Amino acid sequence: MYSLSRLQQVMQLLPWGTFDAAVSQHQTDRHCKRFTSRKHLLAMTCAQLSDVKSLRVLEDSFNPHVRQHYHLNADPIRRSTLADANAKRSPLPFAQTAAALMKQAGRKVRGERQWMLYLLDSTTIRLQGRGFDWTGASATRDRGLKVHVLYAAHTQHLVHQNITGVNVNDLDEGKKLAIEPGATYVFDKGYCDYGWWGRFTQAGARFVTRAKANIAVTLVREQSIAPADQGVILSDRIEQFKYKSNRGGHRNGYCGNIRRIEIAKTDDAPLRLVTNDLSSPASQIAQLYKERWKIELLFKWIKQHLQVKRFLGRSENAVRIQLLVALIVYLLVLLYKNQHQPHRSLWHVLAELRHGLMVPVQAGPSRWKRDRDRKAYIRTIQPQLL
């Protein structure tokens, strides 16, 4: 009996309908004879899961598994063909597939969640060496790209991503996001815009962020600190912005009161948090901001375990495709873990996939055999029940 390989099990989790529709929309297979977009995505996914460092290694590791090629609807990889596809094929179908996977991962746990906590941040992917002049970086700025991510901490999956140049402001990307009512958004002080903060209150959501040192506010009232938080929470104040516009003449779009909490730190200056939540305990607000560390761990995990430092091509197209496929693989491994090994860590699941990618998985009994055994068991115990 034929058994699926682990690679086939992973590839079955992809929303192929969405990918094919995007390929048709952007006509990425218009002048293609054999190496289609599907085979391109399969090759790049295999490169991420196998942790290969070059096209030659990918070619030598994938091509010997001839028996698996038929079931994967794949052909032997030619590194020159893959290099041309990375350089010329549009990355938009890969981006739309990543967005579809994010929605798919969210639907798996949508009915189970009690609250929604979103973490917003970005990370820089540095591009070192020759061939990356297309980044347009100046002599004082490192060459690279920036990956902007919205991460759902309550379900541990990506909600939104966008890849831009390193000179794009984080706040400009944050303003493009739709605010979900009832959700909590946590971000760093790089996303400081009072008018944008006001949109959270208008949408019925709350935010928690760090306050800049030069924030101009007036005190409305001082709130009492719970005895259990004495020494940790230094102050808890309800305040208002002092000025209706900034120095540039732009009107301050935040209306109403704002809350500022000062938290003691052992080896550094106190941490000053700002939120539009005026009623929750100060310790809970502090814990929400502490959750922001999870998105830093996500960036660390991706950079350590996926190929986002060494690239299989040096053109902008090739780099973007490899980064998008890295995000796709992260989501695929997460879905594979939830479906097959929910109690294991994500790293253990990836390690098992990496070292047995083409190994057939032991297949269970067929449906016909299960029905036959069940009927035989019923015939055996029925006289005893009578």
Q: What are the pLDDT digits (tens) for 275-332? A: 999 999 999 999 999 999 999 999 999 999 999 999 999 999 999 999 999 999 999 9
Length of the chain: 386
Q: Examine the pLDDT at 29 and tell me if it is beyond 60.
A: yes
Overall average pLDDT of the 54-58 stretch: 94
DSSP secondary structure string, 218-239? EEEEEPP--GGGBTTEEEEEEE
d(CA 69, CA 62): 9
Contact 149, 85 (CB under 8 A): no
- 360 falls in which pLDDT band (50, 70, 90)? confident
- Between 251 and 43, name the one with better pLDDT: 43
Q: How confident is the model at residue 215 (pLDDT cuts 50, 70, 90)?
A: confident
Q: Which two tokens stand for residue 263?
A: 């938290």
* pLDDT value at residue 364: 47
* Confidence at residue 245, expressed as pLDDT on a 0 to 100 scale: 66
- Average confidence (pLDDT) over 198-213: 92
Question: What pLDDT score does 355 carry?
Answer: 87
Is residue 373 packed enough to be buried (19+ CB in 10 Å), middle (13-18) or exposed (0-12)?
A: exposed
Average pLDDT over residues 215-242: 91
The better pLDDT of the pair 39, 364 is held by: 39
- Residue 292: the pLDDT is 93
The pairing of strands 184-187 and 117-126 is parallel
User: pLDDT tens-digit profile of 148-178?
Assistant: 999 998 878 899 999 999 989 999 999 999 9
- The answer on pLDDT for 340 being more than 90 is no
Q: What is the pLDDT of residue 154?
A: 80
pTM assigned to the model: 0.86
Say yes or no to pLDDT of 81 above 60: yes
pLDDT at 109 over 70: no
Residue 333 clears pLDDT 90, i.e. is over it: yes
Which range is least confidently modeled, 22-36, 322-336, 353-367? 353-367
At 72, the pLDDT band (50, 70, 90 cuts) reads confident
Convert 129-157 to b/e letters by CB count within 10 Å (16 or more is b). eeebeebebeeeeebbbbbbbbbbbbbeb
Is pLDDT larger for residue 319 or for residue 362?
319
User: What pLDDT does 379 receive?
Assistant: 62
Q: Decide if 157 contacts 102 (C-beta within 8 A).
A: yes
Contact 195, 171 (CB under 8 A): no
Q: Is the pLDDT of residue 141 over 70?
A: no
User: What is the band of 132 on the pLDDT scale with cuts at 50, 70, 90?
Assistant: confident
26, pLDDT greater than 70 = yes
Average pLDDT score over residue span 42-67? 92
**What beta strand segments (E) does 131-232 contain?**
144-152, 157-165, 184-187, 206-210, 217-222
Question: Picking from 76-80, 213-217, 322-326, which range would have the lowest pLDDT averaged per residue?
Answer: 213-217
Q: Residue 375 pLDDT > 90, yes or no? A: no
Angle between helices 316-340 and 79-88 (to 10 degrees): 100
When the pLDDT of each residue in the chain is averaged and rounded to a whole number, the result is: 87
Q: What is the pLDDT of residue 342?
A: 87
Res. 94: pLDDT tops 60: yes
